[in-house]
Chains A and B, each alone.
Chain A
């Protein structure tokens, strides 16, 4: 497993496939393979944080992880839900369809043990309200790239307030549009300047 962790962390895509096939053939528990991948992607996250890795590395690691999941998952017989640290509801706010940043955040939250409920892009405020009501997440993540996302983020937070749910959830804003200024305008709890920040804040709110 140590070898697989290193291969995934080093993004050796071709060798990973062979290694996973070998491990399965040798009778290893598919769940251990998934755990090894999670561990590896968490190393990828650290390397990103340290400036060794960049966005393309994260995108590639997401693809690698997905491929391994798809290969290994059918082989898991009884899938009891993994223990999670907590739920995060996330989405790109209304009017904005950018999702690459959000998807990276999803990946990092997932490998750090959070259960991520992704509402997708161009999500209207009422959809966020519904999800917060039903899922009772620890954290709500609002993503946006464009300036139009500023008002949409504020509208979303206002809708959460009106629904009487603001005290029950921490709100993090992220994406190119997010800064201290916007955090105050929107009424969020934190703003993240990169994907790793989302994990740091989510852990802080545990």
Chain B
């Protein structure tokens, strides 16, 4: 008899949980993290799904139902209308700098400048409201015409509020409320997706999102070049800023996981990959604050899902310094033998199936790769099979091969 969805859901949650806790399970979990693959597979463009949540929703759902992995992931398409209203500068997206069928692109810049540290450290919310938001969102540029709220006492309140009556500021606030409504609708659609997928028997792999504090400063504030130069030119201020954002990172992660009702918090790691920081720089600027966030989440009963991008072999020893059975480590590229040797018995491993192979290879190539990975990482449990990075371009037959083969070959006897 076919299993009921609720039975399958419970089974999948248990298999996932046991895998994270490094317990013996019936077989390897297979959970590919899709980004735009479902969109292309459904015959839509990126533009289609950024401007119509129902298309994003249906494409994500159809892919899960067709390929039947163990876990699902929500549609990862940002809301185009909201970004348009904000005149958002951090991304290029279809109709705004890239072609309709292409993934969006991240636009790095020094949105926080090298001489902004003092303002940021003194009064971060004021810096964000009056400097950062106007630089990152074209529509919020007039917020530079407002004054700091710390002036808003006695008669200061009158002059503070007066600034919000200026025509430019009125437009900015209007853009903010309209974009806010778009984001609310978008979050609503993601919430509905989780509910429906649960009813269909698929747990979501990811509850909350977080970033390593170094990446918080590096990704969207100082930029890669900016933060790299800060390590030489103003290391003390950089360290203070990292210290400043660490508790907020913890708070945001906890809140997002609680809102989703799912303990797994995904950290997309960007700037700590092999070669991008020297070992000393990684140990000084990157790892201590990341570890602090991870331990705080573990204390709250949450599961840090550390999604490293790039090569990560030289960082493995440091990553081993976490409590057993509490963390998922995803690797894009890594020495798989070393990773198992150093992290096996400490944390659950996932990732590494090359996205290029899923795009250019044959199902046989994919199976060969997965076989080796299951043999090495799957040994003794604590392994989730997934691609090296979120999946955009890929052949459907290769996705099918990856999932079906894991279910068949990844059985623990």
Contact = CB atoms under 8 A, between A and B. Distances in A.
Interface of A: 11, 13, 53-57, 59-60, 63, 95-97, 100, 122, 146-148, 150-151, 176-177, 179, 181-182, 185, 194
Residue from A11, A55, A60, A179 with most neighbouring chain B CB atoms (10 Å): A55
A53 B280 CA distance: 11
Interface string B377-407: 0000000000001001110000000000000
B202 to A, nearest CB: 25
B360 A185 contact: yes
Interface stretch (B58-66, B164-172, B228-236): B228-236
Given A59-B229, A147-B392, A97 B360 contact: no
A179 B354 contact: yes
A57 B229 contact: no
B275 interface: yes
A59 B228 contact: yes
A56 B392 contact: no
Contacts of A54: 275-278, 281
A151 B276 contact: no
Contacts of B224: 59, 100
Nearest to B103: A148
Contacts of B277: 54-56
A135 to B, nearest CB: 26
A182 B361 CA distance: 10
Contacts of A146: 103, 392
Contacts of B278: 53-54, 56-57
Contacts of A151: 359, 393
Interface string B326-357: 00000000000000000000000000001111
How many chain B residues sit at the interface, stated as a range, is 20 to 34
Contacts of B276: 54-56
A148 B354 contact: no
A95 B98 contact: yes
Residue from A60, A97, A147, A194 with most neighbouring chain B CB atoms (10 Å): A147
Given A59-B229, A100-B224, A181 B99 contact: no
B356 A182 contact: yes
Contacts of B367: none
Given A95-B102, A97-B107, A148-B102, A56 B231 contact: yes
A55 B275 contact: yes
A150 B360 contact: yes
Nearest to B311: A176
Interface of B: 92, 97-99, 102-103, 105-107, 224-225, 228-229, 231-233, 275-278, 281, 310, 354-357, 359-361, 389, 392-394
24 contacts: A13-B232, A54-B275, A54-B276, A54-B281, A56-B228, A56-B232, A57-B278, A59-B224, A60-B232, A63-B229, A95-B99, A95-B103, A97-B107, A100-B224, A100-B225, A122-B98, A146-B392, A147-B356, A147-B389, A147-B394, A150-B359, A150-B360, A181-B356, A182-B356
Given A100-B224, A148-B103, A148-B393, A181 B354 contact: yes
B393 A13 contact: no
B51 to A, nearest CB: 19
B356 A150 contact: yes
Contact of A147 (B98, B99, B231, B393): B393
Given A13-B232, A56-B231, A150-B356, A97 B392 contact: no
A55 B228 contact: yes
A95 to B, nearest CB: 5
A182 B355 CA distance: 11
A57 B199 CA distance: 52
A150 to B, nearest CB: 6
Nearest to A181: B356
A176 B276 CA distance: 12
Contacts of A100: 224-225
Nearest to A99: B108
Nearest to A121: B105
Residue from A56, A57, A182 with most neighbouring chain B CB atoms (10 Å): A56
